[in-house]
């Protein structure tokens, strides 16, 4: 399965918490949190999207603050930095020794990993999040409906791309990343050879390797532990019925809400994940610098094409 980031770049805080938790589970099927290394930089097209949103929202009777790269968007350098994006061994080992692949870490370190059920650790609430929070439930629904109407035309004007919503915008970016990975990474003979060597090493350590495609191998560990999270969510006491309206994923499964694990409950899972992640890194010492450098570049290009970074 082509690699995807663990989450889309939900920057403006317009999706409901329950939907975000579902999306974390749905879109994280084959990536790692280490994949989130695209350096966010607002360019002319993104500024155009933001200005159009602000104008349109004002016409609909709501205030919207254009995202201009303000300090509230600060990125945690421990989780997102150039060294991780290049597959630097020391940076990856430091990350994995604490967070594993970044799957169960969202529960053990909920603030740092942006679990939407808790207050962020490093970044205060965005201006638009504060605006929404001050509205009544009825007003919030009206705000969201207006935002949804404004979003597609704003993106179309700035980029020429047709998107149905902010959710669809990020879905299309993810799909483009998948296509570029298949064409430029999984078909690269050097990376295929490095991936096969890494797979042999993992099998020798007792790990199951279903595919030696570079993208599948890079996503193997996160996919394994994210599947555990999904299964916990499937069998917990939180009803997943509201998500059936979203349809099924590419494997024909209905979306499920992620479980509401406490740090104490998730700790043993993360400990096991860390062991897997460190073994994976040792086997991939030659693979990751090549793979991650290429993958980070693809992420950057996909975001640029859709007007979210330049």
Rounded mean pLDDT of 254-283? 92
Q: Is the confidence at residue 271, as pLDDT, over 50?
A: yes
Q: Is the confidence at residue 17, as pLDDT, over 60?
A: no
Domain assignment of residue 88, yes or no: yes
**What is the per-residue pLDDT for 68?**
65
Domain assignment of residue 7, yes or no: no
The structure's pTM equals 0.79
**What is the per-residue pLDDT for 13?**
41
- Listed residue (236, 234, 225) closest to 254, CA to CA: 234
Count: domains in the chain: 1
Rounded mean pLDDT of 61-71? 79
Domain assignment of residue 10, yes or no: no
Three-state secondary structure call for residue 3: coil
**What is the per-residue pLDDT for 44?**
84
Confidence of residue 34 (pLDDT cuts 50, 70, 90): low
Domain assignment of residue 5, yes or no: no
5 touches 36 (CB < 8 A): yes
Report which DSSP code applies to 196. H
Q: Is the confidence at residue 64, as pLDDT, over 80?
A: yes
**pLDDT tens sequence across 171-227:** 999 999 999 999 999 999 999 999 999 999 999 999 999 999 999 999 999 999 999
Domain assignment of residue 1, yes or no: no
Domain assignment of residue 158, yes or no: yes
CA 262 to chain centre: 21
Domain assignment of residue 22, yes or no: yes
Question: Where does the chain have alpha helices with state H?
Answer: 17-27, 44-59, 82-85, 89-99, 105-108, 127-133, 137-159, 166-184, 189-204, 214-235, 263-283, 287-305
CA distances (Å), origin 18, targets 3, 22, 144, 175:
24, 6, 15, 23
The position carrying tokens 């997102």 is 80
Report which DSSP code applies to 254. B
Domain assignment of residue 161, yes or no: yes
**What is the per-residue pLDDT for 75?**
60
For residues 139 and 120, give the distance between their C-alpha atoms in angstroms, rounded to a whole number. 24
**What is the per-residue pLDDT for 113?**
80
The position carrying tokens 């929070």 is 133
Buried b (16+ CB within 10 A) or exposed e, 118-147: eebeeeeebbbbebbeeeeeeeeeebbebb
**pLDDT tens sequence across 109-143:** 988 887 766 554 545 567 888 899 899 999 999 99
HSE of 8 in the Cβ direction (CA atoms, 13 Å)? 26
Ranked by mean pLDDT, which of 32-41, 113-122, 127-136, 296-305 comes out on top? Answer: 296-305
CA distances (Å), origin 242, targets 19, 134, 166, 252, 254:
10, 25, 20, 17, 10
Three-state secondary structure call for residue 154: helix
Three-state secondary structure call for residue 72: helix
| Domain ranges, residue 87 | 17-305
For residues 88 and 232, give the distance between their C-alpha atoms in angstroms, rounded to a whole number. 33
Rounded mean pLDDT of 72-76? 55
For residues 163 and 171, give the distance between their C-alpha atoms in angstroms, rounded to a whole number. 9
């Amino acid at each position: 399965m082509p690699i995807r980031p663990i989450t889309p770049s939900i920057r403006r805080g317009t999706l409901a918490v329950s939907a975000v938790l579902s999306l974390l589970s749905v879109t994280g099927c084959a990536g790692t949190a280490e994949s989130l290394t695209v350096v966010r930089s607002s360019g002319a097209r993104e500024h155009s999207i933001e200005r159009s949103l602000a104008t349109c929202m004002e016409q609909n009777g709501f205030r919207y603050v254009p995202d201009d790269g303000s300090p509230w968007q600060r990125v945690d350098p421990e989780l997102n930095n150039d060294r991780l994006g290049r597959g630097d061994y020391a940076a990856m080992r430091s990350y994995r020794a604490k967070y594993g692949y970044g799957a169960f870490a969202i529960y053990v370190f909920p603030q740092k990993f942006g679990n939407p059920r808790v207050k962020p650790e490093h970044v205060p609430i965005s201006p638009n999040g504060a605006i929404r929070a001050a509205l009544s439930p009825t007003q919030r629904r009206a705000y969201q409906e207006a935002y949804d109407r404004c979003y597609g035309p704003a993106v179309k004007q700035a980029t020429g791309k047709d998107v149905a919503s902010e959710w669809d915008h990020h879905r299309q970016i993810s799909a483009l990343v998948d296509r570029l990975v298949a064409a430029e990474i999984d078909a690269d003979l050097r990376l295929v050879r490095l991936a096969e060597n890494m797979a042999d090493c993992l099998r020798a350590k007792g790990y199951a390797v279903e595919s030696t495609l570079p993208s599948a191998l890079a996503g193997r560990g996160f996919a394994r532990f994210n599947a555990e999270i999904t299964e916990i969510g499937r069998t917990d006491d939180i009803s997943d019925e509201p998500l059936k309206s979203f349809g099924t994923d590419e494997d024909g499964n209905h979306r499920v809400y992620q479980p509401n694990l406490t740090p104490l409950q998730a700790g043993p899972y993360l400990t096991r994940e860390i062991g897997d992640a460190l073994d994976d890194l040792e086997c991939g010492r030659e693979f990751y610098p090549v793979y991650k450098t290429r993958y980070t570049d693809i992420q950057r290009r996909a975001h640029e094409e859709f007007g979210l970074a330049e």
